[in-house]
Amino acid sequence: MSEKGLTAPGFRARKGGAKIVMVTAYDATFARLVEAAGVDAVLVGDSLGMVIQGHDSTLSVTLDDVIYHTRCVRRGLTHTHLVADMPFLTFQVSEEDALRNAGALMQQGGANAVKLEGGVRSASAIARIVAAGIPVMGHVGLTPQSVHQFGGHKVQGRQEAAARQLVEDAVAVAEAGAYALVLEGIPGTLAAAITERISIPTIGIGASRACDGQVLVIYDLLGMDASFSPKFLKKYEDLSSVIQAALGRYADEVRAGTFPGDEHAFS
């Protein structure tokens, strides 16, 4: 890897400094575009279960699914920091399982780090993985693997007791040795308090500008799904309309017999 890529220690060094830019992507084509745009890090999220596979949650995603997509993204990158999600039940059963599966994401997928959900309950797994030399990014707040426990994809930490618990979770993740922490779906004031409290950078998604960086799914920020418009999302393009229009023109030309033209044929 090129030395100009942001490493796990590089993430830590950005705490309170230049904002960290992370994008979730799942294939080599988008990975090349993300790197060319100068994004700091790519996350291969288990959100692929919803965005790529069409499920209504992330729970069906397997370790092999994430390894496959991480390999795809790895081929599109030369130096950008690559993080792979640990899917449901790949780290909750035992610390040994967690370490073995994290190692597979590094060895088979080519990830530079792994990300796993949970605070206090996941601290021992984080510590075990970090002790083996694998960088870990944490994730607290709206953790999608707990969707049924939450009763849906709902903002977390709005009540005082829940907010206190999320602060405890964030501290536990940092003390376990994680190098960064994703804060998802929490009030901005709580995100600010956590960001100030812990020594590692926070990466927000639906957690306000108070975080040390931000992450969005590339399909979402490009507006590729017209029906998906949560409050936290800003669509930087409307590619849903652009792509449909392009496909419509292609279909019209094929049906009219004007594509392919002579300039597209081989002599």
Sorted by where each starts, the structural domains of the chain and their CATH numbers stand as 8-221 (3.20.20.60)
Q: Kindly report, residue by residue over 241-263, the tens digit of the pLDDT.
A: 999 999 999 999 999 999 999 99
What is the C-alpha separation between 147 and 61, in angstroms, rounded?
Answer: 14
184, 196, 253, 263: the active-site residue: 184
For the chain, residues with pLDDT lower than 50 are: 1-3
Cα-based distances in Å from 65 to 56, 84, 87, 88? 16, 11, 9, 12
Q: Kindly report, residue by residue over 191-228, the tens digit of the pLDDT.
A: 999 999 999 999 999 999 999 999 999 999 999 999 99
Predicted local confidence at residue 2, as pLDDT: 38
For the question of whether the overall pTM of this predicted structure is more than 0.85, the answer is yes
Q: Is residue 96 annotated as a catalytic residue, yes or no? A: no
In the structure encoding, which two tokens stand for residue 247, read together?
């496909």
Any idea which residue has 């594509």 for tokens? 259
